[in-house]
């Protein structure tokens, strides 16, 4: 079945509006709104897909100032300088599904078994459980 170009454009615009207005809870929504629009759309698509898989996303950290990031690095010297958190290219996320809570202390096997990591990869989102050579940061998701 072939759609005329105008119908395709309308469908894309409706999907864009749905992604931009998808709600994930007041705290999550406030953190998403701080991201640049193009990044917000990509992360919103990821969070919508996670919700469709039954996972409730919790944004624990989003856009940070350079001062905030420096404070975190000083408090935890093992923490790599997080590229992206200061300019809206990364989010720190926890997920809850039933009695399962994926968080920083959760092993990589649990994160991978959730399907969230595979989903992130299909959307071009890098996972902090794999991208840092000397630091395991499973809550970090980066464009």
The pLDDT, as a whole number, for residue 46 is: 92
pTM assigned to the model: 0.76
Which pLDDT tens digits describe the chain residue by residue (143 residues)? 555 667 666 666 666 655 555 556 666 788 888 888 888 889 988 998 999 999 999 998 877 777 877 777 777 777 666 555 567 888 999 999 999 999 999 999 999 999 999 999 999 999 999 988 888 899 999 99
Tell me the helix, strand and coil percentages in the chain, rounded to 5.
Answer: 50, 15, 35
User: Does residue 87 contact residue 66 with C-beta atoms inside 8 Å?
Assistant: no
Name the residue ranges covered by the structural domains of the chain: 5-142
What pLDDT score was predicted for residue 112? 97
Q: Do 94 and 74 meet the contact criterion of CB atoms below 8 Å apart? A: no
**Which of the following CATH numbers is that of domain 5-142: 3.30.1380.10, 3.20.20.70, 3.40.50.300, 3.30.2310.20?**
3.30.1380.10
């Amino acid at each position: 079945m072939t759609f005329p170009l105008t119908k395709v454009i309308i469908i894309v615009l409706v999907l864009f509006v749905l992604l931009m207005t998808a709600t994930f809870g007041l705290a999550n929504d406030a953190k998403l709104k701080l991201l640049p629009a193009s990044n917000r759309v990509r992360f919103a698509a990821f969070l919508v897909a996670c919700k469709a898989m039954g996972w409730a996303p919790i944004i624990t950290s989003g856009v940070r100032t350079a001062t905030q990031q420096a404070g975190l690095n000083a408090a935890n010297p093992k923490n790599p300088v997080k590229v992206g958190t200061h300019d809206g290219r990364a989010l720190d996320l926890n997920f809850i599904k039933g009695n399962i809570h994926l968080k920083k202390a959760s092993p990589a096997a649990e994160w991978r078994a959730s399907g969230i990591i595979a989903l992130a990869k299909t959307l071009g989102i890098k996972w902090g459980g794999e991208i840092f050579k000397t630091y395991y940061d499973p809550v970090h998701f980066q464009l």
